[in-house]
Amino acid sequence: MTEPVVDPTPRERGWRGVVGGLALLLLLPAMPPFSVALPVAETSLLLVPALAACSLAGWKAGGRLFLALLWVAFAAWIVVSGESGNQYALLARGWGVLVAVAFGAAALLWPRRSFLPRALAAVAVALVVSGLLSVVVPGGPTGIRQVFGRETMRRADAFEADWRARLASKDWAELRKNNAESAAWFEQTLTEQRTMVRSTAEQSSVLFPALLALETLAALGLAWALYHRVGRARIGAPLASLRLFRFDDQFIWGLVGGLALLVVPGLGMARGLGANLLVFFGVLYGLRGAGVALFFLAPGRLMTVVMVSVSVLFAGAAGVILVGLGLGDTWLDWRRRERPST
């Protein structure tokens, strides 16, 4: 009688979080202010090539060739389809392919590393290569920034045109006539939303490198989770839950460097780099702080949804608190301590 073979790398289970993440990644680019804040509106350009890279790495690790070929073909179709002759579309597609290649190479070169170091390395390599390539294209880095700036403002203008058309519609005139109080409230809400979208568009044109890196990390994480639910060959450790999210404590210097570049006078264009470093590492430390909060509060699913909703409604205050918790965890490492008994 032969003993059953035990797969040391079983397929991950549970689709609720993955489906929720996929829905967010696909829907957020259509919702203001994310519609102007996210540099790549077609998030499939980031997700599908990354899935193809994971599948190729999985095939090299003993997985199915058919799955790898399927995702590669799908990624090729995603990349070549769509608008042609549009500078923004070409840059977005090129970025998706570049990140996927770097992520696949990281998966092959460092098979024992966890997801986050590989994803960060892939994004860093893609940024460096993009920076080098931008030197030889017409307009250079400034031209690329202007392309993303024009695209961001185009989306803001489209939202404003929709806003004006909605206020001038017959349905809106009827609402004003039949329920003036509700119409005034909705109009004020839409006006505030319009102001927020315009302000976000103006800031996003400066912060697009950090926003692009964060959006790419989210897409890579989702691709990693999706692959390990459909592929048989593991290419790394499972993604840990948010309550255990942490990273190298040396990242604190990214935050410090960004703050220094912003506050030191006379640095000129370096202030833009400082703002991008501050946003990127600030979000990472905010996620780390959210992990600390979830670890100690240990909320159920419903309470977690409530916490996330409150954090979104009071984004400024919640962000400061979560970043503070994340920074504190760098020195205190709260999650290694035993929780006191009650």
pLDDT by position in tens, the chain (length 342): 333 333 444 556 667 778 888 888 888 888 888 888 889 988 899 999 999 999 999 898 888 888 889 999 999 999 888 666 678 888 889 999 999 999 999 888 887 788 999 999 999 999 999 888 877 777 777 778 888 888 888 888 888 888 788 777 787 777 777 777 777 777 787 777 778 888 888 888 888 899 999 999 999 999 999 998 888 788 888 887 888 888 989 999 999 999 888 888 777 777 888 999 999 999 999 889 888 888 888 766 555 655 555 555 455 667 788 888 889 898 888 787 644 433
**Virtual CA dihedral for 322, 324, 329, 330, nearest 10 degrees?**
130
Compute how many other C-beta atoms are within 10 angstroms of the C-beta atom of residue 206: 18
Contacts (Cβ under 8 Å, ≥6 apart) of 58: 64, 67, 68, 227, 231, 232, 233, 234, 235
φ, ψ for residue 341, nearest 5 deg: -75, 150
What are the sequence ranges of the domains in the chain? 14-239, 241-342
Q: How far apart are CA 76 and CA 78, in angstroms?
A: 5
CA dist., res. 10 & res. 190, Å (int): 49
Please state, in angstroms and rounded to a whole number, the distance separating the CA atoms of residues 140 and 136: 7
3-state secondary structure of 234: coil
Q: Could you tell me if 97 and 49 are in contact, meaning their C-beta atoms sit under 8 angstroms apart?
A: yes
With a CB cutoff of 8 Å and minimum separation 6, the contacts of 265 are: none
Query: Which residue type occupies 126?
Result: A
14: left (phi over 0), alpha (psi -120 to 50) or beta: left
**Predicted structure pTM score:** 0.85
